[in-house]
Structure 1
Amino acid sequence: MPSMYLDINDLAGGALSEKINIELQKLAANVLDANTEAEAKRSVTIKIAVKPDEKREIGKTEVSVTSSLAPSKGIPMSFVFDYDNDGNAVIGELITKDRHQLAFNNQGGVMDGTGAPVPQGNVVNGSFGQSVYK
């Protein structure tokens, strides 16, 4: 029985090699992306599916190349929860370390832990989402 030799670079007129290179470029870009975990495993998978005909002489073949990349890192943040004056649940992003902590905004004004401005001369009573200024 004669032996057959297939050169991966010649399969499908070079299309398989091209697809492999595309996925390897995606993998390289993912490795270099600072928004992904540096040591996460990445992979390129080449799948060759063959469905022979009844005479077992010809096999319809589909070749696919896929990559499994590291997902983007999550973005750490915190939410604060409370009720508004009508009793509805409300949510806000906590931009300070403590929901009751005051901070200065970029314009020099005072803001609460969610970034809401604190009117001058008012005192925060520590409740987010309600009438917090007296």
Structure 2
Amino acid sequence: MKVDINNLAGGAMAERINRELAKVAENVMDPNTKAEAVRTVTITLKIKPNEARQMGQTDIEVKSSLAPAKGVPTQFVFDFDKEGKAVMKELNLSNDKNQMAMNDAGDVVDGTGTSPNPKVVGLYK
């Protein structure tokens, strides 16, 4: 018995394998994914024979499993607002005027070095 995989389903299976391999190549070359992550291409042939066992209805499935995008690191600070509700804000010290930090004197300042309007009371205790 010999099945020509290149011509199986009129060449559709080979076409789908190549499409999934192209996705793998794009994923490998994406700098936002982990280089060493394993990528897989899975080919599934489902064959359901008829009662007489003379024919089999066949479904071909080709799928890839790619590396997910790397996480994007950041930091949050947590405190309570005037009503006692928990709040959080991203801590980004890249001169964002809306970010809280401490200056060399120990005062709370925004990303530009200016003392902020006291909205979060816990930061000023």
TM-score, structure 1 length as denominator?
Answer: 0.74
Return the structure number with greater helix share. 2
- Measured in 2, the distance between the counterparts of 1:111 and 1:71 equals 30
3-state DSSP of counterpart to 1:13: helix
3-state DSSP of counterpart to 1:9: helix
Match of 2:9 among 12, 17, 22: 12
Contact 2:80 2:122 (8 Å CA) reproduced:
no
Query: Unaligned regions of 5+ residues in structure 1, if any?
Result: 97-102
The alignment of Structure 1 onto Structure 2 pairs a total of residues equal to 117
Match of 2:63 among 52, 62, 66: 66
Letter in 2 for 1:91: M
Letter in 1 for 2:100: D
Provide closer, same or farther for how the CA distance between residues 75 and 128 of structure 1 changes in structure 2, counting only shifts above 3 A. farther
Aligned to 2:38: 41
Deviation for aligned residue 1:88 = 1.0
Contact 2:95 2:111 (8 Å CA) reproduced:
no
Contact 1:81 1:128 (8 Å CA) reproduced:
no
Letter in 2 for 1:22: R
Is 1:129 aligned with 2:120? yes
Provide closer, same or farther for how the CA distance between residues 37 and 45 of structure 1 changes in structure 2, counting only shifts above 3 A. same
Moved over 6 A (4+): none
- Measured in 2, the distance between the counterparts of 1:18 and 1:119 equals 59
Q: Percent identity?
A: 46
Letter in 1 for 2:49: P
Query: Unaligned regions of 5+ residues in structure 2, if any?
Result: 102-108
